[in-house]
Amino acid sequence: MAPQKTFTHPIDIDWLLQYVDKSAMIIDYGCGYGRIVKELIDAGFSNITGFDTSIEFIKKGEQHHLPIYHIPAPEALPLENNQVDCFLLFAVLTCIPSNIGQSNLISLLYSKLKPGGLIYISDYYLQENEVSKSRYTYYNDDKDNFGVFSLPEGGTFRHHSKDWIKTLVNDFTIRDEQEIEVKTMNGNAASAFQMMLMK
């Protein structure tokens, strides 16, 4: 479905620049077709790279000659520990339904960040509309793993309780957070959160 999908979570460049400069090493993890990578390059950022496990998204982005690369598995980041100034994690957690999968990813990114490095997360809390509420369920019947749902065209996704997100990022200092309105990749209105985390 990659060629048909459009991502819309906005990156707040002014907010990002409060924490990093335009020469910082920024990694867009789960970059898709490179929408944010291109936006930051156009804004003058000079050291931005994207990685994604979807070869179809990478092929889509390569048409625009962006510095984005396919990785064969989520943990296969070709980066040294304590190297990265900032990770962007935009609508990635929603694609990882399990607690353990999310925890493993956050631990991986933590290891790659420099001391004082950042993760800029944009993702979904549990939605309050009735359609969303009616489809939320537990992952593998785990009562601690709520907010999971499947779409008719395929794919299992997740929205998150605020308590779970606070648990997930417990090793970080939350420097700032905000809630925004976005469109999902299928064009539906949704509430999202953005969070700036410091190692």
Q: Which pLDDT score is estimated for 154?
A: 74
Return phi, psi of residue 157, to 5°: -130, 175
User: What residue type is assigned to position 179 of the chain?
Assistant: E
Residues 27 and 86: beta-carbon distance below 8 Å: yes
Q: Please write the tens of the pLDDT for every residue from 115-161.
A: 999 999 999 999 999 988 999 999 999 999 999 999 877 789 999 99
For the whole model, what pTM was predicted? 0.92
Three-state secondary structure string covering the chain: CHHHCCCCCCCCHHHHCCCCCCCCCEEEECCCCCHHHHHHHHCCCCCEEEEECCHHHHHHHHCCCCCEEECCCCCCCCCCCCCEEEEEEECCHHHCCCHHHHHHHHHHHHHHEEEEEEEEEEECECCCCHHHHHHCEEHHHCCCCEEEEECCCCCEEECECHHHHHHHCCCCEEEEEEEEEEECCCCCEEEEEEEEEEC
Dist CA 56 CA 45 (whole Å): 25
Angle (CA) 26-21-43 rounded to 5° is: 75
Each residue's pLDDT, cut to its tens digit, for the chain (199 residues) gives 545 555 678 999 999 999 999 999 999 999 999 999 999 999 999 999 999 999 999 998 888 899 999 999 999 999 999 999 999 999 999 999 999 999 999 999 999 999 999 999 999 999 999 988 999 999 999 999 999 999 877 789 999 999 999 999 999 999 999 999 887 766 778 899 999 999 9
Q: Which domains does the chain have, with CATH numbers?
A: 2-198 (3.40.50.150)
Q: Which pLDDT score is estimated for 8?
A: 74
Q: Which pLDDT score is estimated for 189?
A: 81
Q: Which pLDDT score is estimated for 7?
A: 64
Strand pairing report for 146-150 and 48-52: unpaired
